[in-house]
Amino acid sequence: MNLDDWKYHSSKLPTQNTVEWAKYCEDLINEFTDEIKNNPDKYDDFFDGCYPSCIDTFITFYVSTKLSLITSANYYLEQTKENREFKYQDEANEIFDLILQKKLFDLQIQWRAETLEIPQVRLCADFIFWEQRIRDCPFLELVTDAEVRVMESFLKSNNFSDQTQSWLCYWQDGGEILEKDEDGLMEMYPEWYEFYDGRMGTGALLSLPDIRGAKENAYMQILRDKVAKERELKPSSPIQQMTMLNPDHKTIHEFIHTYEDKYFMAIADGYLNTFAKTDEAIDAFEDELDTAYYLLQEADEPVYMPGGMPWKEAIVKCAQQYKNGKIANELDMIFEEYMMFKDAGIGWELADYSEEYRKDGLCKQMEDNMIKARVLNGEPADLNF
């Protein structure tokens, strides 16, 4: 498809000027986000019956993907060998963000222990807010070169995992991640966090008490007790079934074909083809093997399988190591770009995060719950506890 007339054609993008390009991307993100959030009638059919927090997460991921489609349009259309490396740039950015997620989680532990005050955080749920806007977070210290080297080491280690137990918790879901089982182990603690602790000496933070989490849980128990008493007094009405909205590549593709123009539709087909194998590899090892084989076919350098394991596992491990190496090679470039923006005073920081808080479904819900519980407990209708 010819993109010459498309408003987002590469020739019309201000990519030559770093400042203009950063501002242009920021404006597009705001424009795309506002378009979805401010037109509920248009998108109601798609979001009907979904949890509000899932909708917010989907919109954030979708807007990021839409921007990626614009910046990598030719790649998704042409799928040429020369453009294959582009697909690792987005993944490398996501991996780089995991460094920021760990820095944020360490701050969360200290905030929960009430040894640290953060003006931009009011409730535990606010860390989920900043997780989803990790590059916008104004109170994180800069990523260091040492932290990038630790991530490179992690990518090349046998323990590498770029996922949390995502069906159960987020990167900043402190309540789930810090919870200990009967043996005193934190089963949900991400391997990346553990690896970072071992290299950077931050593991001692895990011994801090979760004072703030206990306070919020106590208020939530007040609400649960109130609901239980109300149910005793009157029969419960039918509960509306809510569904999860997963921002996977197929759902993104469906959303684009439902609401976007012909140009985005054409690019989205290439986008889906690029990631379809990954989506299909979630549930079965045979699919994982297919994904590994598909990935290794694209290798532009000699790749050697590890020994001492069954051949299927060796192929999957080999593909993961190849992919990790590609991502590790991108980290320096991403770190350099990150520092360039910071040194120039160009940040992703939100100008007015309080306005974003009011739009966030999870933050608004938790704020309302805490205030209701405090009023029921005879306390002021605020969050000063």
Cα atoms in the 13 Å half-sphere on the side-chain side of 340 = 10
CA 312 – CA 324 distance, rounded (Å): 18
Tell me the pLDDT tens digit for each residue of 46-100: 988 888 878 888 999 899 899 988 988 877 776 434 445 556 787 888 899 999 9
- Domain membership of residue 129 (yes or no) is yes
Q: Which residues contact 269 (CB under 8 A, 6 or more apart)?
A: 76, 253
- Domain membership of residue 166 (yes or no) is yes
Q: Is the pLDDT of residue 370 over 80?
A: yes
DSSP string, 79-93: --GGGTTHHHHHHHH
DSSP string, 291-332: HHHHHHHT-SS-----SSS-HHHHHHHHHHHHHHHHHHHHHH
Range of the domain at 207: 10-218+239-276+349-376
Say what the pLDDT of residue 113 is. 97
Say what the pLDDT of residue 80 is. 38
CA 50 – CA 242 distance, rounded (Å): 5
pLDDT band, very low/low/confident/very high, at 205 (cuts 50, 70, 90): very high
Place of tokens 């919109």: 59
pLDDT band, very low/low/confident/very high, at 105 (cuts 50, 70, 90): very high
Cα atoms in the 13 Å half-sphere on the side-chain side of 73 = 21
Q: What global pTM score does this model have? A: 0.64
Q: Is the pLDDT of residue 380 over 80?
A: yes
pLDDT band, very low/low/confident/very high, at 112 (cuts 50, 70, 90): very high
Number of domains in the chain: 1
Q: Which of 29, 31, 190, 160 lies closest to 91 in space, CA to CA?
A: 160
Helix 211-233 vs helix 361-376: angle between axes, to the nearest 10 degrees?
Answer: 70
Q: Which residues contact 314 (CB under 8 A, 6 or more apart)?
A: 305, 306, 307
Q: Is the pLDDT of residue 166 over 50?
A: no
DSSP string, 9-24: -GGGS-TTSHHHHHHH
Tell me the pLDDT tens digit for each residue of 113-154: 999 999 999 999 999 989 988 988 889 999 999 999 999 999
- Max distance between CA atoms of the chain, in angstroms, equals 71
Q: For the chain, what is the radius of gyration of the CA atoms?
A: 23
- Domain membership of residue 4 (yes or no) is no
- Domain membership of residue 358 (yes or no) is yes
